Structure 1
Amino acid sequence: MIHSTRGIVLRAVKYGDTSLIVSMYTELFGIQSYIVSGVRTEKKGGTRAGMFQPAAILDMVVYHQDQKNLHRIKEFKWGYVYREVYAGVVKNTLVIYMMELLQKCLKQPESNPDLYAFVESSLLRLDAADDGTAANYALHFTLALAAHLGFRIGGQYSAATPVLNLQEGVYEAEQPGHLHVLDGYLAEATSLLMDAETVDDLRAIRLNRELRRSLLEGYQTFYALHVPDFGKLRSLPVLQDILG
């Protein structure tokens, strides 16, 4: 059947001489794979393959059958044209990280309009963010996505609960009997990042390169403890090198 849906490109790989196989997070069907024929051929001085970069937001008309794993796109156009996401190294690296994180978490093709709205709005906010905000954006998105996926960190950092137990996903008074923890300023910064609601809130959280590196590694561990077969993020080392 033919349906109209909005979608976000997670990943695209070459298929044959002129086509792509694209993994997308769609508003109507959740995560889906599509074969897009002929987009790598030149047309009017360029190719349409550029519309399938990671994080591209498209309005599409698709052929969909529930029993199939690979579908086709009948029509597509830009759903939103970024101003800055593809223009700079930092934001471009950020969206590659965000899309890989989504791919590792979205296992089943289930519709979740609230999650889709969160992801799309996060991309639009990143596009509009200044450099001071963008540096902390990956951390904030990672924590917020976990909450949307059902494993929100419980509690807050305080003098009474200074240890973040990543295995249990909760702030605690004492060190647990394992090493999957964040403490000190890493635990405090995580609490601040979870509470951030505005661009100004994110910009106000002061983190240097080493703190961001440690937090991203800790959050990767957190996801690996809560998402089956999560593994490691290939984009993480690049992101850690880029963020200042």
Structure 2
Amino acid sequence: MLIKTEAIVVHSIRYGEADLIVKLYTKQKGVVSYLVRGVLKSRKGKLKPSLFLPFSILNIDANYKSNNSLQRIIDAKLITHFKTLHESILKGGLISFLAEILSNVLIENESDEGIYDFIKKSLLWLDSNDEVALFHVFFLLKLTHFLGCSPDISNIELNQFSLEEACFTVGDKSGYAIDGELLIAFKLLLGIKFDDLKGVSLPKSIRKQLLDKVLLYYSFHVPGFKKTKSLSVLEALFN
């Protein structure tokens, strides 16, 4: 079956001397892996390696067979020509980190236009803004809504947030709670939009703790969530 769909590049790896295996989050079919033959060697082919940089947004024509683990791309064209996303070292670290997370949490062949549109809009915002120190933390918090595990904010006035129970509480002695100065920052991020990040300035230590807590939250509530290998690289960039 021939499908035409928008797609966001999540991950690509070299396969053999000239091929790529590319994982795309497609608007029509969800996560689909493709074998792109000869793309690293042929100069005349219409598919170029630059199309498959992390988080490139494409229009693709592809063959799709439900019983195949690797599909075939016939044609692909960039929808958006990013200005900074693949040029900035800091933003490059952010997208590598978030691409690894998405590769872990998105389910093969399960489409969700809400997730697709959220990722796309987030990338467009990241490309056009420079105040990005909290982008990844905020992105991960907002993503929980689409993953079905967003924090329960019904008792947001309480003075602790339980990472295990995903709700605000009091008297949590588990060691898996957010409180104090960190809780103030956490509540702030739960109540704003992307554009509001421009007016938020938090100390580096608070940003790091927030990210650690959000990743711990994912480990409790996202099945199969794995430790993120690129976290150390990201931390080095922000230092």
Instruction: Give the TM-score normalised by structure 1.
Output: 0.92
Listed as ranges, the matches of 1:1-244 within 5 Å are 1-43=1-43, 48-130=48-130, 133-155=131-153, 160-172=157-169, 174-199=170-195, 201-243=196-238
Write the deviation string for residues 114-171 of structure 1: whole angstroms up to 9, x where unpaired. Answer: 11011111101110112xx21111111010001111111111786x412111111111
Q: Deviations over 1:177-203 (max 9, x none)?
A: 41111111211111111211242x212
Distance 1:22 1:240 in 2: 26
| Alpha-carbon distance, 1:243 to partner | 2.3
Tell me by how many angstroms 1:42 deviates: 4.7
Aligned partners of 1:207, 1:157: CA distance in 2, in Å? 24
Tell me the percent identity: 30
Is residue 22–residue 52 contact of structure 2 (8 Å, CA) maintained in 1?
yes
Q: Give the partner amino acid of 2:148.
A: G
Distance 1:147 1:138 in 2: 15
Q: CA–CA distance in 2 between the matches of 1:195 and 1:134?
A: 17
What amino acid does structure 1 have at the position aligned with 2:110? E
Per-residue deviation, residues 185-235 of structure 1 (Å, max 9, x unmatched) = 211111111211242x21222212211111111111000001122121111
Amino acid at match of 1:18: A
Q: How many residues align?
A: 239
SS in 2 for 1:68: coil
Q: Does structure 2 retain, via aligned residues, the 8 Å contact 1:139–1:215?
A: yes
SS in structure 1 opposite 2:138? helix
- Consecutive unaligned residues of structure 1, counting only runs of 5 or more, are none
The aligned amino acid for 2:24 is M
Aligned AA (2:132): A
SS at match of 2:23: strand
- Which amino acid counterpart does residue 177 of structure 2 have in structure 1? V
Q: Deviations over 1:19-49 (max 9, x none)?
A: 10011111000011000011101526xx811
Instruction: Please provide the CA RMSD for this pair.
Output: 1.9
Q: Which segments of 5 or more consecutive residues in structure 2 lack a partner in the other structure?
A: none
The CA deviation at 1:236 is 1.4
Q: 2:155, 2:167 within 8 Å by CA — same for their partners in 1?
A: no
- Cα 1:109–1:175, aligned 2, differ >3 Å: closer, same or farther? farther
User: Residues of 1 paired with 2:31 and 2:123: CA distance?
Assistant: 17
Cα distance between partner residues in 2 of 1:243 and 1:140: 16
